[in-house]
Amino acid sequence: MSKVTFSPLIVGCMNLGEWGANYPTDKLYEFVLHCLSRGLTSFDHADIYGDYTTEAQFGALLKEHPSLRSQMQLITKCGIRRVCSNRPEHGVKSYDASAAHIRTSLEHSLNQLQTDYVDLLLIHRPDWLLDPSEVAGEVEALKKEGKIKAFGVSNFTASQFELLNASTPLASNQIEASLLHLDPFTDGSLDQALRLGIPPMAWSPLGAGRFFNDRGDERVARIVKALAPLKEKYGAQEDQLLLAWLLKHPAKILPVLGTTKIARIDAALEALTINLDREDWYALWQASTGKTIA
């Protein structure tokens, strides 16, 4: 299958359902249509979102408006066995990257999303019992069946990524990255992505809302202070600068937006036009760490 191209910002769907805005189909249609009109065509799901209900809500939209499917790339994730009322058979939270679970989860997601295929399937969390050859065999079968276009992982370390990538080509690693989570810059994750030419996706690029809801935190306060002069310099808002900081990295990070608000979608798009100076980038890094670099 052909290589999948994603929009420069990914629309995260976790908060569109029961875990967030819980949009009815008409409001969801308005939101999705606006994203598509602005060039945001990639939508990120996971089977567990909304305790296994959010995919179905999105699928109801696609059933009502089937022409939308060809205009978008659908991403979904599997591999977490979440304990909730919708999965009474799950006795303990666990990770499962077995061939059987990957297939069962994907086929359920396809049914929920009202589609024949997803553009990208991700293993949501590292399963320490993962057998690379078993996963590779199942992925190859799913690709041949036309059920997935590409395969990748989420929250994998660089070594875990390398191990699986040696058995089956991985299209992305969706990792947490922001000015409040710098690990990917130092643990080899972004180095690996850059070396392999595989753009990583970054979840919680705005620190899971902490910049807006946790102003009393010392680290957040330092970053907000450092952002103040940059807001005037670049004519930008804080959230735009936070995204621009990630976008500056040569690995071509694809931030996963968590917002359900059209106005914030529009604001986020402006980040694509901001090219931070190198000194400004490092000023924000040092504000985050609280110390001057060596």
Catalytic residue chosen out of the listed positions 49, 52, 117, 234: 49
Active site residue 234: no
Secondary structure element (H or E) that encloses residue 216, with its range: none
Pick from 93, 86, 12, 95: nearest CA to 53: 86
In the chain, alpha helices (H): 25-37, 49-52, 54-64, 99-113, 132-144, 158-165, 183-186, 189-196, 210-213, 218-234, 238-247, 262-270, 278-289
Tokens encoding 219: 């680290």
Residue type (1 letter), 176: E
Cα 262 to chain centroid distance, Å, stands at 18
Compute the distance between CA of residue 259 and CA of residue 202 in angstroms, rounded to an integer: 14
Tokens encoding 119: 């553009």
Compute the distance between CA of residue 258 and CA of residue 202 in angstroms, rounded to an integer: 11
Which residues are part of the catalytic machinery?
Answer: 49
